[in-house]
Structure 1
Amino acid sequence: MPALTPLPAATPPVTMTIHQLPTGSYSTKANMALRGGSRRETVQFAATAVLVQHPSGDVLIDAGLGRDVEKHQQMLPGYRRVEHRVGSPVVDQLAAAGYDPHRLSGILITHSHWDHVSGVPDLAAPVLITAAEVTYAKKQGADKIFTSFSPGHPLREYTFDGGPYLGFAQSHDLYGDGSIVIVPAAGHTTGSVIVFVALPSGERYAFIGDLTWRLEGIEKNIERLFLMRLFADSDRKQVTVDRERIIAIADLVRVVPAHDERGFAGIPLLVQEAGRGPV
């Protein structure tokens, strides 16, 4: 699939910023993470949220591991529980940086699996989600973390009311300025999305959730192990189609798989300088 040029127009405000908030990680065998990986090698799956600060409302992309992660692990069936390392939850990182969590206008999840939503109950901001993903979460028997808290947590559903965007047939421009554009990627889960972020510096990001777990899935066109595709994906063919779309534009945007810490390299941490707010 040929690369698409030029990039869609975007006018992000000059004060717009992004920061990464790593909340921990969990371990898996390399052969389970990527086709051709070694059975003897263990890789770490990052659980990292991204804070986008925008004058029209700050947004968190995914929420990482939260304060109740151990309880959430116990809610999973035994075969889904993983060896994990818990860092600082998003809500505590925001507090340490002097950031008022009430500034958050929404938590934009790429999908509803436990390792993307564990930190949601710690925050008051509504979850930005599609109706398709709400339906998907309700039908899950092995991962009930989202449905355990969502009845009492505000949800804000959005629709794909915009036209084509970088090879995807539909889109939703969150603020109407091209700075945060969401497209459907209904393969990993039936309501999975990809979030494109355009910064005032001209840098572009594609936060692709679990479309692929490792950068090799894009850079080397390597799929998940077939067994894991059967286990993990709702629509394997759609995953392949959407992954090829991202491969086609990988020279135009920085691709960030949710669980590969290498994708977050260069995105600054959220810290507070003396006498100033979070930077």
Structure 2
Amino acid sequence: MSDPVRKPTLRQCCSAAVGSLHGAVRPRPVDERYLRSITDAGLPSTQRTVTVTALPQVPRSAPTPAVVEGVFTPSRIASSLTSFVVQHPEATFIVDPSYCLDAEHRAIAQLQGVIRPFVRPPAETIPTITALRSQPALPALDFALPTHAHWDHVCGLLDFPELPVHLHSIERSWAMTGPVAPVGGVRDALVDRPVVDYELDGPPVLTFTRSHDLFGDGSLVLVDLAGHTPGSVGLLAHTARGWILLAGDAAWHAMQIERVRQKPSFPGLFVDENRDLTFKTLHRLHLAMRLIPVIPTHDHDAARRLAAPDAEAVEPLP
């Protein structure tokens, strides 16, 4: 184990348990005042389109209240560790290389013991490298782009040791600085490989305050989704069927965005670095979802509609 991680305190564990019970009965209410303060800066202008393909992945059935605070119907929803391949005229890259071979020993063993049973995926979960090999029509990868530095968004990199990574500079500093990592199962995937740092140096886009135009042509724009981690980003992609937003773990499921419901305190207190900022980001995603489809990485049903280039488009909410 080469990635030591902070250990939870008894107080944190108690707070998570009590918070989950309270949130199940009285979930955190929508901040209507904050919602009204959010402005729409509009979408980028571009003539180029890209292709976004969700790699094959098996779902895991999760209790809805364990994902969406205070929601019990339906009783269960489908979750998965989905990775996305994006084809741009100048490069092909993978968003959130999620799962490596032998992940139990190479990544999960480095997580806090209290959350391992919750985050451990099904035994038949498909490693990213295996999923890619099942899609021979896809071009070779030029780089990887994690939406954030959590184990289930980077550990697939362990099977691509030479693949460069594009990573938000704030996120890289947070994950890699100091003797003890803020989260486990991450550093081994990022060390000893080419890393291209970027800043969110662009103007507001849609409901998001900062952006970064990945290729300078408006077709792929990274937006600020901070909260889950300090440098979390989403990827706005202009496809032939319209705009979509890959939202990483700013929300685990579209239902959270639709209802503006945070993750329950367990495991939310252990996985969201800043719960208040994560909740504000949910408000921004809620308004954005009225304009374009928003696809959280772990929402299996949303990702499934991007399983092939000619897949059925996801429609925005009315």
Distance in 1 (CA, whole Å) between partners of 2:229 and 2:204 is 21
| Match in the other structure for 2:87 | 53
Tell whether the 8 Å contact from 1:75 to 1:145 is kept in structure 2 after alignment: yes
Q: CA deviation at 1:110?
A: 0.8
Distance in 1 (CA, whole Å) between partners of 2:74 and 2:303 is 25
Q: Does 1:84 align with 2:121?
A: yes
Q: Does 1:234 align with 2:273?
A: yes
Other structure's SS at 1:264 match? helix
Q: CA deviation at 1:181?
A: 0.4
| Match in the other structure for 1:22 | 56
| Match in the other structure for 2:29 | none
String of CA shifts for 1:236-262, please: whole Å, max 9, x gaps.
221122211111121211111111112
| Match in the other structure for 1:74 | 109
Q: Does 1:156 align with 2:196?
A: yes
Tell whether the 8 Å contact from 2:56 to 2:307 is kept in structure 1 after alignment: no
Equivalent residue letter for 1:89: P
CA 1:213–1:178: 2 relative to 1, 3 Å: same
Q: Does 1:244 align with 2:283?
A: yes
CA 1:76–1:248: 2 relative to 1, 3 Å: same
| Match in the other structure for 2:136 | 98
CA 1:228–1:74: 2 relative to 1, 3 Å: closer
% identical aligned pairs: 28
String of CA shifts for 1:17-76, please: whole Å, max 9, x gaps.
111013445565432211114499554431000101111101211012121312122222
Distance in 2 (CA, whole Å) between partners of 1:88 and 1:269 is 17
Q: 5+ unaligned residues in a row in structure 2: which ranges?
A: 1-34, 311-318
Name the Cα RMSD after superposition.
Answer: 2.6
Q: Does 1:224 align with 2:263?
A: yes
Other structure's SS at 2:285 match? helix
Q: When the two structures are aligned, how many residues end up with a matched partner?
A: 267
| Match in the other structure for 1:7 | 43
Equivalent residue letter for 1:178: G
Distance in 2 (CA, whole Å) between partners of 1:99 and 1:88 is 18
Distance in 1 (CA, whole Å) between partners of 2:307 and 2:262 is 29
Q: CA deviation at 1:159?
A: 1.2
> Normalization by structure 2: what TM-score?
0.75
Tell whether the 8 Å contact from 1:23 to 1:65 is kept in structure 2 after alignment: no
Q: 5+ unaligned residues in a row in structure 1: which ranges?
A: 272-279
> Normalization by structure 1: what TM-score?
0.85
From the two aligned structures, give the one with the greater strand fraction. Answer: 1
| Match in the other structure for 1:276 | none
**Bigger mean CA offset, 60-69 vs 132-141:** 132-141
Distance in 2 (CA, whole Å) between partners of 1:43 and 1:250 is 20
| Match in the other structure for 2:219 | 179
Distance in 2 (CA, whole Å) between partners of 1:166 and 1:148 is 35
Distance in 2 (CA, whole Å) between partners of 1:204 and 1:40 is 28
Q: CA deviation at 1:224?
A: 1.9
Distance in 2 (CA, whole Å) between partners of 1:80 and 1:141 is 16
